[in-house]
Amino acid sequence: MKTFDEVYELLKANPKRRLAVAWGVDEHSVCAASMAIDAGFCEATLYGDRKMIEAVCQKENIDIAKFNIVDVPVELKAIQEAVTAVHEKRADVLMKGLCSTDKYMRGILNKEWGLLPPKAVLSHISVMQHPNYPKFLVFGDMAVIPLPEFKQKIAILKYIVNVCKSLGVANPKIAAVAATEQMLDGMPACVEAAMLSKMAERGQIPGLVDGPLALDVALNKEAAAIKKLKSEVAGDADGLLFPNIESGNVFYKSNTQLVPGVRTAAFVAGASAPCVLSSRADSIDTKLNSIALACLQVK
């Protein structure tokens, strides 16, 4: 698949996934859930104050009957009930409503009724459809792990590989991004990229991994040719592993802010179920794509 439209087509052919929206009482999350239902690939339960939900539906002209509603008028309790539903397999995908990211993540991390497998690494994985790149780009982490340790990078890399596969890429090519393609021993991003490349070469981790690669040679065959790089990944990356949150965040925001036609999706990987973590500033398209991407990860 190369576009989100193809993802929607595939999802329609799958069984409908069950979405649990934690404190789903604001227009952003209710509208996104409504559109996902209308797109035909999920059903949704809103956990929140029924009166607030009714008001939003009225204002946005949404037929409230399309939702299941669990009337919980207290934010923290609503989060707990939504997370518990996923924990108990009564729902497939968790989604953030009006609650803060902090409260939402603490719900996922709860030891009794949360979604965290032992030793799990939670990471934010994004997918970008770019008008000037011929296929999806899957990357992380741009929102959850500030400076991943090596073991966390391995986890993020595995999530990227899995998402690439869910999008139909049989043998994903992952660039471990750095500021240069030279293996400079003074730069941790370069050193760890070399380590990951070798681990992939030895079959210790999945995917076809090469790094360090600067973004130009990761994405552009010509730039790689000028620099005489021998690399199966260079110029043809499916995935980008960023060395720190700032570089991932800048990649995401530079493209979403400055490039018309870019479409994105994201979710939190590493929990026992995919978790959608949209921000208020996300577009409706991004919110809907993110629900679709999360549904696509459900086994």
Residues that bind a second copy (CB under 8 A): 130, 132-133, 142-143, 146, 177-180, 186-187, 189, 214-216, 219-220, 223, 226-227, 242-251, 253-260, 280-281
Residue 129 has which token pair? 């459809």
Paired sense of beta strands 137-140 and 208-213, if any: unpaired
Unique residue bearing structure tokens 């989100």? 4
Q: How many C-beta atoms lie closer than 10 Å to residue 260's C-beta?
A: 5
Amino acid identity at 222? E
3-state SS assignment for residue 228: coil
At closest approach, how far in Å is the CB of 248 from a second copy?
8
Task: Closer to a second copy by CB, 42 or 189: give it.
Answer: 189
CB closer to a second copy out of 64 and 215:
215
Minimum Å distance from CB 252 to a second copy? 8
Name the residue nearer to a second copy (CB basis): 125 or 219. 219
Q: Which is nearer to a second copy, 59 or 66 (CB)?
A: 59
Q: What is the dihedral of CA 159, 162, 168, 174, to 10 degrees?
A: 60
Q: In angstroms, what is the minimal distance from the CB of 104 to a second copy?
A: 15
| Single-letter code of the amino acid located at 293 | L
CB atoms within 10 A of CB 102: 8
Q: CB of residue 283 vs a second copy: minimum separation in angstroms?
A: 11
CA distance 99 to 274: 18
| 174: nearest Cα among 186, 191, 156 | 156
Which residue, 72 or 160, has its beta carbon nearer to a second copy? 160
CB of 278 to a second copy, least distance (A): 13
